[in-house]
Amino acid sequence: MAKKVKHFYFNLDVPYHECETIYLQPVPNAVIRAESGERVQVPTARLRQCITREGLKGRYQLTIDEQNKFIKFIKL
């Protein structure tokens, strides 16, 4: 049986200096509002993978499975 997945989309515009808190504070999750209006917890370790010199800028997609387990967080 195929797994059901759910996708959340985010438009982020977070400058690099604000992203530094992801590295400096031991916070396991960040709560981000999706384009759908839902508040979604994203593991900060997954956000770190997408931070560039500009910070977190652009459109991103979070994919979770039916048990709300993380599958992927990517920049589109």
Q: Domains along the chain?
A: 5-75 (2.40.50)
Reported as a single tens digit per residue, the pLDDT across 17-40 is 988 887 787 788 889 999 999 999
At 2 the pLDDT is 63
Phi-psi region of 68 (alpha: psi -120 to 50; beta: other; left: phi over 0): left
For residue 39, give both structure tokens.
């508040």
User: Tell me: the pLDDT tens digits for 40-59?
Assistant: 998 888 888 899 999 999 99
**SS3 letters across the chain:** CCCCEEEEEEEEEECHHHHHHHHHCCCCEEEEECCCCCEEEEEHHHHHCCCECCEEEEEEEEEEECCCCEEEEEEC
pTM confidence score:
0.84
